[in-house]
């Protein structure tokens, strides 16, 4: 995933593993943020899950791409739809795909149906602009961990409901 400063475009590149040659690329409008710290653009990493690639933008968009062609299957402004505002760097968490749900952090944690792009649930605001969520098992149950702006939050990965939190500073 790269950012073209002159054109204002984020671009997802699919590279051949043996030669590094570009197999396909897909571009869309990007936003240059925090120019005092870096050249701007999206700071997340695409996530490959089966035949799809999921990518977030610093503006809070989530896109599903076809892994073979790069064609955009669906795209939605998740942050805007759940009322989340970016900080100076925007949103930089990478998506997590689990049990048919794409989980993204855009201040709050949002669960999106991986096939349709429909929002399934969202958590309370956590200040999780840059935390890539992760799953873990505890006592035979799957949980979701996310660093918010001031606390580590443990959520139910099926509903986004808070199970536990602990200040991290």
Helices of type H across 27-163? 78-82
Output the CA–CA distances (angstroms, integers) from residue 36 to 26, 40, 71, 86, 89, in the order listed.
27, 9, 33, 17, 10
- pLDDT higher for 134 or 37? 134
90's CB contacts (< 8 A; 6+ apart) are: 31, 33, 34, 42, 43, 57, 58, 59, 60, 129
Q: What is the pLDDT of residues 92-135, one digit of tens each?
A: 899 999 999 999 999 999 999 999 999 999 999 998 888 899 99
Q: What is the pLDDT of residues 73-98, one digit of tens each?
A: 999 999 999 999 888 778 889 999 99
Question: pTM value?
Answer: 0.92
């Amino acid at each position: 995933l790269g950012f073209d400063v002159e054109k204002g475009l984020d671009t997802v590149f699919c590279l051949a593993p043996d030669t590094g040659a570009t197999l396909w690329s897909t571009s869309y409008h990007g936003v240059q943020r925090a120019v005092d710290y870096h050249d701007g653009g999206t700071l997340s990493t695409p996530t490959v899950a089966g035949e799809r690639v999921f990518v977030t933008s610093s503006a809070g968009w989530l896109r599903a791409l076809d892994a073979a062609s790069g064609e955009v299957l669906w795209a939605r402004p998740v942050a805007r739809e759940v009322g989340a505002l970016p900080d100076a760097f925007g949103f930089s968490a990478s998506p997590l795909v689990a049990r048919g749900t794409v989980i993204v952090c855009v201040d709050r944690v949002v669960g999106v149906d991986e096939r349709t792009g429909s929002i399934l649930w969202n958590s309370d605001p956590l200040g999780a602009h840059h935390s890539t969520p992760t799953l873990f098992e505890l006592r035979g149950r799957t949980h979701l961990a996310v660093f918010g702006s001031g606390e580590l939050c443990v959520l139910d990965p099926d509903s986004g409901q808070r199970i536990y939190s602990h200040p991290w500073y």
